[in-house]
Structure 1
Amino acid sequence: MPVTTDFISNKLQVRSNHGVVDGKEVIKSKTYSNLKETAVDDDIYAVAEALASLQVPTMEEVLKVETTLLIPGV
């Protein structure tokens, strides 16, 4: 049975290192919604770097979160 897909959304998530608190590393994330379906990964990363340069904590990692609906074939 073939499965087709339907694009729902793309999100950019930037995770930042806030240092060590009580012996545990604190990583916080900020998610930016409504990325275009056609957004290129290099451009998404460039935006994440620009956003991180405006923040005090160090950028730890960048995630692109894709949501896609899987539709079973007939």
Structure 2
Amino acid sequence: MESIRWLLATAGVEFEEVFLTKKEHYEKLLNDGALMFQQVPLVEIDGMQLVQSKAILNYIAGKYNLYGKDLKERAL
């Protein structure tokens, strides 16, 4: 989740963190169908519930134009 926090901060996006402090919190997310692949982190953005860090990072980078202008910039 740390890389997601950094990217959101770079984009200037305010966000709220909710920590799973009990097994019951995780189980509730599972039972509600919120965790695709039964994984965390989970980011709720634009009416979607995204899991898997790479997918979340790709979405945020695309939304806030943080990909870089070319492949070299993206790699750096």
Same fold, judged at TM 0.5 (above): no
Judging by fraction of residues, say which structure has more strand.
Answer: 1
Judging by fraction of residues, say which structure has more helix.
Answer: 2
Q: Tell which has more relative contact order, 1 or 2 (C-alpha 8 A, sep 6+).
A: 1
Q: Which has the larger radius of gyration?
A: 1
- TM-score of the superposed pair, with normalisation by structure 1: 0.31
- TM-score of the superposed pair, with normalisation by structure 2: 0.30
